[in-house]
Amino acid sequence: MCSGQDRDHEDRECCPQFAGRVRGFLQPWILLQLSRGSAHGYELLERLSEGEDVANADPGFLYRTLRGFEEEGLVRSSWDTAGSGPARRVYAITDLGREYLHAWAVHLRRTRDRLNRFLADYEALTTGEGGERDVRA
């Protein structure tokens, strides 16, 4: 259990219990990337580790997710042997994938709203020091 001394520390480094954090970003993120244009796994992996949009950059998880998407018909793949290095499996989003992305966005909008309500409640509690607002017990 982390010390808790540094209240603003990056929790992923020392607090395994925060593994139980809000997750499930990778899937819609993939679909969003692919709806901008086709890409192969390794490329997505690089974008992942660069940006901070998504926490999870595990290759195994990414590749498995892509394969799963293909099984579900959200993406289609083909081999690209053109450039140098080993062949790349290039993924393209399908219409169904775009529909999923849309549905996911709808869901994520709700999630964000929940998040905002939660954070507002939390801040009201800490600002009002003691939490006099709507206390029922």
| Residues near its own copies, by CB under 8 A | 1-2, 4, 7-9, 11, 15, 17-18, 20-25, 27-29, 32, 35-39, 43, 52-54, 72, 96, 99-109, 111-112, 114-119, 121-122, 125-126, 131, 134-137
Nearer to DNA, 81 or 127 (CB): 81
Choose, by CB under 7 A, the member of 59, 73, 128, 131 that binds DNA.
59
> Is 88 in contact with 46 (CB distance < 8 Å)?
no
Check residue 23 for interaction with DNA (CB under 7 A). Answer: yes
Of residues 56, 61, 55, 66, the one with CA closest to residue 88:
66
Residue 124 touches which of its own copies, DNA, none (CB < 5 to 8 A by kind)?
A: none
